[in-house]
Amino acid sequence: MYRNPIKIKDAPYNKFGDPFILRFNGKYYLYPSGDNTTDEIYCYTSDDLVHFKYAGIVAKEKILHNAYAPEVIYKDGYFYLITSPSGNGHYLYKSESPLGTFTRVSENIKNMIDGSFFLDKDNNLYLLRANHYGISLLNIDENGNTSGRVNLEANMNGWTEGPGLFYFNGYYFLTYTGNDVCSTGYRVNYSYSKYFNKGFIEGINNSLLISTSGKYKRVGHSSNVLGPNLDNYYIVYHSLDIIKGVHKPRKLMIDRLNFNGSLMCANKSSFNVKEPLKPLISSIDASIFKIEGNLYLYRYYFNEFTLESYIALDSKVILYFKNKENLVYFEFNDDINLVEVKNNKKVILSSYKNNFKLKCFHTIRVIYKENNLELFIDNTFINRYFINLGKSEKGYILNNFNDIKFNAINNFAFNDSINKERTIVPGLIFLEQSKNNIFLEKYDSFAGFLKENEEINIPLNNIPGLYFLSIYLGNETDLTLLINDKEVTLNKENSEYDFNERGITFLNLKTNDTLKIKVIKGELKYQYIRIRKVNKYKEVNELKQRKFKDKYYLTTKDLLVNYLEFNFEIKKEQIYQKFGLVFEASDYSEDIFQARYPLRAIFVGIISNLLAISYFNYKEKRIYDVPITLNDKNNIKVYLKNNKIKVYLNDEEKIETTIPLMTRFGRVGLYKSCESKMKFLSFDFKEDTK
């Protein structure tokens, strides 16, 4: 078991801000930020991703005073490190080992802070970095020269930093952080695209990581890394405590990522969690193989699999082996070839120009499941192939025993091993344990299906308490579900949307409980299940403050509501007025160094001369509005049923619409912008006790 925050007993410098982890040759290398007491970059190593040991200083010189966010990448036999000391531009370093010593190869190349490397399939190196608008992507060469800047569609409604870009199963995922490290609203968002350099779309479930209250707050500046079993990805980030104005050392946090097509989630934990799974077979040399001449074969037969090895690039990777006259393999020369040998006749099935250096070692990873084959070189996605390999031995054709270092293979692919893990909650549950799934091109994600009398049992990793469950489900039929022995009826809803997130029921969960869902009537089609803890908070009441800032009032606990109402007085309409009620509120931050609307909530109220509904999520996204005329004294009533909302102004219906991502669960309260000249007279709401 491990538990966040992760502690490193022999760390001489026990500060882990902006953590970056490199996976190389089967080992993990952690590089955290320095501070204003250091002129060096430290490294820690691990074999399992959660137990680290101090490995030494990898770079040291006066330029590295207060070195921000060092990151390292392997390219053609060398390791490149980039950092932005004190936030005053970047320097590039080079070494033959991830443990250094790294030598500086550039002067200051500017480009703000938080440089992060990315390598494309043609072996071109890129630099992502922070930006006021979003994340910027630039070409960078081995001497630090930059060019070709593009601004990616990824921003946090203000200063955006801490980028990380990786590929998984058809999509490029970009993670990024904002807005200020000192704010409790410091958080990680993500966007996805089918291209690494354009077309990014914000994830509908953002923020990926946020913690504005509780023991571990201000979570952010993440990196992403493949887990030891070759099948799961993990997100690495820090948390920060500020006590009476004093910044405590930032803490190291690691949690598992999960995916559903273009959807990604990271369920944050600070309780005991099972350590990352290991591969079925792993070794640091060729000793585990069955060896026949230059053939090195694993002693198992695999259908679906993920294989990784650090090998000389003139080796071959065997994907299917019947005998020496019938096999399928990858070979690497001037081209990257997928080769089939049938009855001793060689046919090249697919070929792609190889731009990786031949005369050095590279990390090769191959993933295969149900005719889908993916190839990676040095953690870089190269290509997807469609081929039926069948169950067989896997292995290598090597020129000699020393042509392979670390190697491992597992009988899982494309994150399937998630079904062998307990799902951490609170958080999202995608299609764990679901056996009937179909891809929805419209949503870039999968839907799971449960028919009458079918059920799923999902082992959870949780602490005991009261939780609330919602499901992002289709609307085709009336449904009766049995959820942990509690019967729930969901009537078909006439909705403009194919899927709506419906608030379902409260659950009392024991430690590491099991979520059981059985369909009694109808068919359940869903993209995800969300479980949230019912929390208590300190009251927020800023309405009487005179500070020039937006003002909030929020209740002290999470509620499920079906009705809200407020009365207000306004002597004169203001052009810039904005005020009203909020419900389904969470993740409120009272700090000032952050984006406007620092909470997640649904807002109903007045914006200038409009009656409006908006999402608040550290920015505003309008849902619906209508022009209105106000009296001196006014009343707004809001009726909620499932995903339907009706809004009345002075007893006249003004809005009726559907909000697909509405569960009605969270804190409720009031909001008043700093420009608004009005007075709240009363506020009321009704709870739904289902």
| CATH classification of the domain holding 664 | 2.60.120.560
Residue in the structure block whose two tokens are 């509405």: 662
> Which three-class secondary structure string do you get for 79-127?
EEEEEEECCCCCEEEEECCCCCCCEECCCCCCCCCCCEEEECCCCCEEE
Q: Do 122 and 243 belong to one domain?
A: yes
Query: Does the structure show a pLDDT above 70 at 509?
Result: yes
Burial class (CB in 10 A: 0-12, 13-18, 19+), 391: exposed
Same structural domain for residues 477 and 560? no
In the predicted model, is pLDDT for residue 689 greater than 80? no
> Would you say residue 320 has pLDDT above 80?
yes
Domains in the chain, number: 4
Q: Over 80: is that where the pLDDT of 574 sits?
A: no
| E strand map for 277-429 | 281-283, 290-292, 295-297, 305-312, 316-323, 326-332, 335-342, 345-353, 361-369, 372-377, 380-386, 395-397, 404-410, 423-424, 427-429
- Band (pLDDT 50/70/90 cuts) for residue 287 is confident
476 pairs with which residues across the strands?
A: none
Whole-number Å distance between alpha carbons of 672 and 552? 6
Structural domain includes residue 566: yes
One domain, residues 158 and 294: no
Torsion-angle region of residue 666: left (phi > 0), alpha (psi -120 to 50) or beta?
left
Q: Are residues 236 and 290 in the same domain?
A: no
Residue 475 lies in a domain: yes
How many whole angstroms separate alpha carbon 658 and alpha carbon 499?
A: 11
For the record, the structure tokens of 297 come out as: 């074969």
361-372: average pLDDT: 98
CA dist., res. 370 & res. 366, Å (int): 14
Stated length of the chain: 690
Q: pLDDT grade, residue 245 (50/70/90)? A: confident
Does 109 fall in a domain?
A: yes
Question: How does residue 573 score in pLDDT terms, banded at 50, 70 and 90?
Answer: low
Q: What is the pTM of this model?
A: 0.97
Give the residue-averaged pLDDT of 134-151. 96
Are residues 28 and 177 both part of a single domain? yes
In the numeric block, which tokens belong to residue 75? 């390219």
> Which pLDDT value is given to residue 246?
86
**Among candidate residues 512, 533, 554, the one where a domain is terminated:** 533
Helix (H, G, I), strand (E, B) or coil at 348: strand
DSSP state for residue 418 in the 8-state scheme? G
Sequence letter at residue 40: E
Does residue 397 fall inside a structural domain? yes
Q: What is the rounded distance in angstroms from the CA atom of residue 283 to the CA atom of residue 281?
A: 7
Between residues 124 and 688, the one the model is more confident about: 124
pLDDT at 447: 97
Structural domain including 657 reads 540-687
Among left, alpha and beta (phi > 0; psi -120 to 50; other), residue 543 is alpha
Burial of 602 by CB count in 10 Å (0-12 exposed, 13-18 middle, 19+ buried)? buried
62, pLDDT greater than 90:
yes
d(CA 355, CA 179): 38
pLDDT at residue 575, rounded to an integer: 72
CA–CA dist 245, 586 (Å, integer)? 24
Whether 276 is in a domain gets the answer no
Within a domain: residue 34?
yes
Looking at residues 638-651, what average pLDDT do you find? 97
Q: Are residues 398 and 434 in the same domain?
A: no
Rounded to the nearest integer, the mean pLDDT of the chain is 95
- Over range 642-648, report the average pLDDT: 97
The domain boundary, picked from 208, 232, 266, lies at 266
CA distance linking residue 641 with residue 477, whole number of Å: 17
Domain shared by 468 and 604, yes or no: no
Q: Is the pLDDT of residue 140 over 70?
A: yes
CA 380 to chain centre: 19
d(Cα 630, Cα 603) in Å, to the nearest integer?
Answer: 18
pLDDT band, residue 546 (cuts 50/70/90) = low
Q: Are residues 439 and 563 in the same domain?
A: no
pLDDT higher than threshold 70 for residue 637: yes
pLDDT of residue 598: 95
What are the C-alpha distances in Å from 518 to residues 58, 112, 322, 451? 55, 53, 44, 9
Choose one of 497, 517, 533: the last residue of a domain: 533
- Could you please report the per-residue DSSP string of 357-372? -SSSEEEEEEEEETTE
Instruction: Say whether 541 sits in a helix, a strand or coil.
Output: strand
CB count within 10 Å of CB 185 equals 27
